[in-house]
Amino acid sequence: MIIKSYKIEKYPWVEAIDCFQQYSDNKYSLLLTGQGESDIAGFSLIAYNPVAVYSFHPLGSTMLQNDKTIPMEFTPWVTLRLLISTLNYESLPYPANRCGVTGFLSYEMAHTVEKLPGSTKLNYKLPHAYYCIYSGFIYFDVQSKSAFKIEISYDSKPLEQEFEKIPDSYIIGSIYPDFSKEEYCTKVQQIRDYVLDGEVYEVNLSQQYRAGFNGNPFTLFKNLYRKNPAPFSAFINLPNVKILSISPEQFIKGDGLQVETRPIKGTAPRYMDQEQDLLSRNGLVDSEKDKAELHMIVDLMRNDFSRSCKVGSVKVVTPHRLEKYTNVWHLVAIVEGVLEDDKDYIDLLKACFPGGSITGCPKVRSMEIIDELETSRRNLYTGSIFLMNQQFMQSSIVIRTGIITTNIDTNEQTLFFNSGGAVTIDSEPEKEYDETIHKVTHFIASGTKEYR
């Protein structure tokens, strides 16, 4: 596939989430947006009118193009490299040079990088990797408050448009977790035992929640985003699956050869009472346990970056900084590097995937323990949602994310979401459990009530 022509025109400034309302019912439409510090929330993007869709499953991969579905033989990594190398978005003028291949890599893509067990239960079906090529974009430059509509023509025609109009309301039923509090605390202690035995330093333990859902997924996304406008938020409308991500965590950003990652480790709850909130904040800032968690992952990410970056270029720019969100405080580090001349973003993604902040240290042994102790397959959770061309990339760690599935036989909808945290030798089981609850407060608070 090649780009034949393009058109860029000014577009009236409006918040991206409000603009996306008109595209939210379009199948395969996508929104990337967020708020936060100026160095992490610089742009928003709407993508619509897909030209090609690539879906990779363990039992068979497909490409949807020219309204025909055909089998795919290439692996997800090879396909992604082929797409970004042939679609030269980076050669277009600004802001079309900030467009590119969009999609996601699920946590299960770790099996293409390392030899891992796979004993957890699959509760919903989603591609292990998914890429989409669009002909329509709206780009929002948050800093200058300017917006642009971008139309791109290829040597393939856009897919036939499909719409699914859903009433603008929703109801979430009762929420069921994988584990009781006692069970989760027992698993935390099991990880502490592994640490004492010298097998790991840190493991990210999580569990899955599920609930019945009825209504409009984008309305739920808007509600969650208004309460917690995280900088790496995303909404993706797939057939029978909707992805609602309110993620605060950047995975990898690339601008030319310059690359960076911003792992999060260390979480404390927010409170309405200012004095209590300040105590929680200061407790996190002064916590040697949380700083140690972050420093371990920083070392892991430095090592992963060094596999694709020039010798001496990988640096810890910020060992830890405090970031404020609606329901939690976070400690965040910034690691930068410069890619080797013979490496690209695909090499870096493979070297770092999945992110160390959501696996543990050492990574492979941590993922083996995750498979042993967690019940449900993570699927997209702790994978990555991304936008990429040869000279620009932005990607997130998929946390604080809901997946809404529709059963094609019964039309019943189900909401799935996960929460977890890092466990070290200093972890207190009950506090670790409480942290997982704080992270998904907005999902839990949205339950058993109708919203419009």
**Do 442 and 325 touch, CB atoms closer than 8 A?**
no
Residue 25, helix vs strand vs coil: coil
Gap between the Cα atoms of 206 and 215, Å rounded: 27
Please tell me which residue in 108, 187, 222, 249 is annotated as part of the active site. 249
**Do 382 and 207 touch, CB atoms closer than 8 A?**
no
Is 449 catalytic? The answer is: no
**Do 243 and 261 touch, CB atoms closer than 8 A?**
no
Please tell me which residue in 222, 242, 253, 265 is annotated as part of the active site. 265
**Do 225 and 407 touch, CB atoms closer than 8 A?**
no
Is 182 catalytic? The answer is: no
Residue 10 burial (C-beta neighbours within 10 Å; 0-12, 13-18, 19+): exposed
CB atoms within 10 A of CB 115: 7
Rg (CA), the chain: 21
CB atoms within 10 A of CB 72: 17
CA distances from 384 to 27, 58, 109, 220, 398 (A): 20, 18, 10, 21, 5
Q: Catalytic residue positions? A: 249, 265
